[in-house]
Chains A and B, each alone.
Chain A
């Protein structure tokens, strides 16, 4: 057993919230730099350059990359040898979000009820997904998710007979319909299989991968490549104003499913693809 105090959890989450919102990951920066060379639309190239300049400014001034500093989606891998002491684990995470969004001058974008819509004022609650794993470490990943790109996501319960092509056309259609709304260039997270809820979770989890990293299974790696090409052939382009680069990457996560089901989900992630992790 290893003891981990909740104060350490709160401190870590607070820092993650700020860092994720100020510093665009190297993987995303590289993918956009690469895209500038491939974009044929002059307006599109101009937009991509603005995005890179924006990342520079945000970093040097320690200010948020985007004004929508998002809902804090938090993924935890909790080692089963860890004993959390000093308070409740989830409370410690929420407190970290509260402090990070206040001290980091991040926008508070959460309403306490979906229909009555009063702002909670501190960007809590975060959405926390915890998995118990082996070992004595705690891995926390934050993905501040903006509303604009989240709103363009979709899930569909396909029939097994719809097969591979059914999934692919659903992905391409979702991106085409989203147009400029999710702030392209986007990263397309695709979940295939599992259940209704698991599939949506997989699509979001796919966004945590390093941008452009290939799926370990060559079958899915090939599908990612093909989907990226098809998505970019829609012509949606940077900000939806037309161009070659609609997406920087397509990431697929698959999971076993029921003999009668073929769930598919698409979670759209804007170019402000902020994710940071820490291992305690």
Chain B
């Protein structure tokens, strides 16, 4: 089997999200935002108080990552995905506010799967531990909020042909369930 690769650009629209299915091999080009637990906690607090986020989430994608410090001359240090499950309780709020996708590693919970279906969102995975390879696909990095959080600050990244796989789609598809079912003995 030869794998076809779909090329996506940010921002993502609902109709583009609908064309994606669990197991699709995709690349992403454009601007994305970063955030881990600490930043998500702050952002969801803002949403619950009815205040604005540090960036407009409409059509955007958040990458769950806490990179290593950049060496002089580097755009960013090693920057692979972190475990997404820790964002289970935050992501549904972000999706309801207009966020279209997340990138991380590991399965996300039922509350996220439900939000993906309801609001037409998608969850992608990048290869955990392929952090040096991924860093090479990041061409700009700028802190946009919570600088005090260090590696957990919210950054805006420009990515070019960032390699990902659709893990959980807006149709209820889930590669963690389907893939394992297919190969178990």
- List, in ascending order, chain A residues with CB within 8 A of B107's CB: 179-181, 240
Given A51-B127, A105-B68, A242-B180, the answer on whether A183 and B105 have CB atoms closer than 8 Å is yes
Is B82 positioned at the interface, with any CB of A under 8 Å from its CB?
yes
The DSSP consensus for interface residues of chain A is: loop
Is A233 a contact partner of B184 (Cβ separation < 8 A)? yes
A residues 211-247 touching B (CB-CB < 8 Å)? 233-237, 239-244
A residues 17-71 touching B (CB-CB < 8 Å)? 40-43, 46-47, 50-51, 53-54, 57-58, 61, 63-69
Given A57-B136, A105-B71, the answer on whether A271 and B105 have CB atoms closer than 8 Å is no
Is B132 a contact partner of A61 (Cβ separation < 8 A)? yes
Is A107 positioned at the interface, with any CB of B under 8 Å from its CB?
yes
CA distance A30 to B68 in the complex (A): 26
Q: Which residue of B lies closest to A238 (CB)?
A: B127
Is A148 a contact partner of B180 (Cβ separation < 8 A)? no
Is A153 positioned at the interface, with any CB of B under 8 Å from its CB?
no
Q: Which residue of B lies closest to A236 (CB)?
A: B180
A: number of interface residues (CB 8 Å): 46
Is B130 a contact partner of A50 (Cβ separation < 8 A)? yes
A65, A237, A242, A243, most chain B CB atoms within 10 A: A242
Is A129 positioned at the interface, with any CB of B under 8 Å from its CB?
no
The one of B23, B67, B180, B184 in contact with A107, judged by C-beta atoms closer than 8 angstroms, is B67
- List, in ascending order, chain B residues with CB within 8 A of A210's CB: none
- List, in ascending order, chain A residues with CB within 8 A of B70's CB: 105
- List, in ascending order, chain B residues with CB within 8 A of A233's CB: 184-185
Q: Which residue of A lies closest to B85 (CB)?
A: A181
Is B128 a contact partner of A148 (Cβ separation < 8 A)? yes
Is B131 a contact partner of A66 (Cβ separation < 8 A)? yes
CA distance A233 to B185 in the complex (A): 5
Is B129 a contact partner of A272 (Cβ separation < 8 A)? yes
Given A58-B132, A64-B132, the answer on whether A240 and B106 have CB atoms closer than 8 Å is yes
- List, in ascending order, chain A residues with CB within 8 A of B183's CB: 40-41, 235, 237, 242-244
Is B80 positioned at the interface, with any CB of A under 8 Å from its CB?
yes
Is A180 a contact partner of B182 (Cβ separation < 8 A)? no
Is A235 a contact partner of B133 (Cβ separation < 8 A)? no
The one of A58, A151, A181, A242 in contact with B178, judged by C-beta atoms closer than 8 angstroms, is A242
B67-105 near A? 1/0 per residue, CB < 8 Å: 111110010011110110100000000000000000001
Is A130 positioned at the interface, with any CB of B under 8 Å from its CB?
no
The one of A41, A57, A64, A240 in contact with B176, judged by C-beta atoms closer than 8 angstroms, is A240
Given A239-B105, A244-B183, the answer on whether A148 and B82 have CB atoms closer than 8 Å is yes
CA distance A151 to B185 in the complex (A): 26
Is A67 a contact partner of B68 (Cβ separation < 8 A)? yes
B residues 36-95 touching A (CB-CB < 8 Å)? 65-71, 74, 77-80, 82-83, 85
Is A47 a contact partner of B71 (Cβ separation < 8 A)? no
Interface residues, chain A, with chain B CB atoms under 8 Å away: 40-43, 46-47, 50-51, 53-54, 57-58, 61, 63-69, 105-108, 119, 147-148, 151, 179-181, 183, 233-237, 239-244, 270-272
A/B interface sample: 21 pairs, CB < 8 A: A42-B2, A43-B3, A51-B130, A54-B130, A54-B131, A54-B132, A54-B133, A61-B132, A65-B132, A67-B65, A67-B151, A107-B67, A179-B176, A180-B176, A235-B182, A239-B105, A239-B127, A239-B128, A240-B179, A241-B125, A241-B167
Interface residues, chain B, with chain A CB atoms under 8 Å away: 1-3, 23, 25, 65-71, 74, 77-80, 82-83, 85, 105-107, 125, 127-133, 135-136, 150-151, 163, 165, 167, 175-176, 178-185
